[in-house]
Structure 1
Amino acid sequence: MRAVIAEDSVLLRVGLVKVLEMGGFQVVAAVGDAEALLTAVEEHRPDLALVDVRMPPGFTDEGVRAALVIRRSWPRTAVVLLSQYVEERYAADLLAANTSGVGYLLKERVADVGEFVAAVRRVTDGGTALDPEVVAQLLVRRHSDPLERLTPREREVLGLMAEGRSNTGIAETLVVSDSAVAKHINSIFAKLDLPAADGDHRRVLAVLRFLGASPA
């Protein structure tokens, strides 16, 4: 798997290269701004772009805007945004633009190398990965219908779905059976008025509803 890294901090950029290489990725480019990122992605067509949210010249949302360009122009390239702080609207923007192969993680998550690499691999394989801190803030802030219909346990399950965890992963986290998780997820689909369809697609729609985003 080939990866491009965009991070303006030289020390963190070097660290990310090492972490990804330890995880089995081949880092084909490591750059410091959004313009260089787009050039690198166009040249290498990597499997993954690991992108800092705030980069030169403005240090606002340059990384997010570049990520959206990547998802439109090179949809086979998965994108993981890295942020210093929880800014869940960026996760919503990215998910609304595309419903697979996207992630939003806090930079502090890099310290847990195993968990970080697992999340990045999940995104590269077409899944999603949202930082638990982002999910925790959303659980506090999202209290409008139809989410009010969910029980505390269902909101917990939906939060873990938003992190990108599989049914088995949710079951292991909550120490319940796979069948119990499946029942909770079916109940979530019903309460969120999501019609019967492809299971993975409904999972993404449920997460988008949770984030308050609309699929493109």
Structure 2
Amino acid sequence: MRVVIAEDDALLREGLVLLLANEGIEVRAAVDNGDDLLAAISAERPDAAIVDVRLPPSFTDEGLRAAVEARRRLPRLPILVLSAYVEDSYATDLLADDAGGVGYLLKERVGRVEKFLDALHRVVDGGTVLDPEVVAQLMVRRRADDPMRTLTPREREVLALMAEGYANGAIAEQLSVSETAVSKHIGNIFAKLGLQPTDTGHRRVLAVLAHLRS
């Protein structure tokens, strides 16, 4: 796998380079701004990009905008965005093209190497990965009459894993339940939230995210 990295924090940037190299992943470029990211993507045509949301000069959303432009120039380029903050609008903007191969993680996940690498590989495989903390905070920002409040604790656990991009089998393994039980929980979730059921991972995540933000 060949990747490019855009991260303004030199320590984290070099840490990512070393982490990925130790896993046999080739880092073709490691830059600290959006313009250099786009130049590297055009020159290297990597298999994936890892991008910080906040890059120079304003440290607002330059990384996100560069990521969106990168996917315009290189359609379906897998992109894993990193952020130090839970900002759900970033996740929505990133998912807007409905093409899959995108992820939004908090930077603290990088320290959990197995989780971080799993997310990167799932994004490269065309999946959609949302940080569980993003989902958790969206869940609590609900109106008193919202149907989200009708979900059971187990259904909320399943919903959070769905939003992270896990398939039914992986959810069953993580929760130590049968895949049949997971399917039943998902059916209940879709029914309570008024969503159309689908087994397509990216659409499933988009449907969940759309409802969480509605």
TM-score past 0.5 threshold = yes
The Cα of 1:186 is off from its aligned counterpart by 2.2
Q: Which residue of 2 aligns with 1:139?
A: 139
Change (3 A) 1:196 1:135: closer
Are 2:104 and 1:78 equivalent residues in the alignment?
no
Residues 25-78 of structure 1: CA distance to partner in whole angstroms, max 9, x if unpaired?
211111110010011111111111100111111111100111111222212311
Please show how residues 70-149 of structure 1 align to structure 2 within 5 Å: 70-143=70-143, 145-149=146-150
Q: Distance in 1 between matches of 2:41 and 2:142?
A: 35
Gaps of 5+ in 2: none
Change (3 A) 1:185 1:74: same
SS in 2 for 1:5: strand
Residues 131-160 of structure 1: CA distance to partner in whole angstroms, max 9, x if unpaired?
222121112113464534533332321111
C-alpha RMSD over aligned residues: 2.0
Please show how residues 204-215 of structure 1 align to structure 2 within 5 Å: 204-212=205-213
The answer as to whether partners of 1:5 and 1:29 remain within 8 angstroms in 2 is: yes
Residues 138-195 of structure 1: CA distance to partner in whole angstroms, max 9, x if unpaired?
1211346453453333232111111122212211222211110011112223333334
Q: Which residue of 2 aligns with 1:171?
A: 172
SS in 2 for 1:103: strand
* More off after superposition, 68-77 vs 114-123: 68-77
Q: Distance in 2 between matches of 1:166 and 1:102?
A: 16
Paired residues, what number? 213
* More off after superposition, 137-146 vs 45-54: 137-146
Q: Distance in 2 between matches of 1:200 and 1:119?
A: 14
Gaps of 5+ in 1: none
Change (3 A) 1:181 1:97: same
The answer as to whether partners of 2:187 and 2:197 remain within 8 angstroms in 1 is: no
The answer as to whether partners of 1:6 and 1:52 remain within 8 angstroms in 2 is: yes
The answer as to whether partners of 1:139 and 1:159 remain within 8 angstroms in 2 is: no
Change (3 A) 1:59 1:66: same
Q: Which residue of 2 aligns with 1:159?
A: 160
Q: Distance in 2 between matches of 1:99 and 1:189?
A: 22
Q: Which residue of 1 aligns with 2:21?
A: 21
Q: Which residue of 2 aligns with 1:187?
A: 188
Change (3 A) 1:40 1:157: same
Q: Which residue of 1 aligns with 2:39?
A: 39
Using the size of structure 1 for normalisation, the TM-score is 0.89
Q: Distance in 2 between matches of 1:211 and 1:112?
A: 26
Counterpart residue identity of residue 6, structure 1? A
The Cα of 1:85 is off from its aligned counterpart by 1.8
Sequence identity (%): 61
Using the size of structure 2 for normalisation, the TM-score is 0.89
Counterpart residue identity of residue 117, structure 2? V
Change (3 A) 1:204 1:130: closer
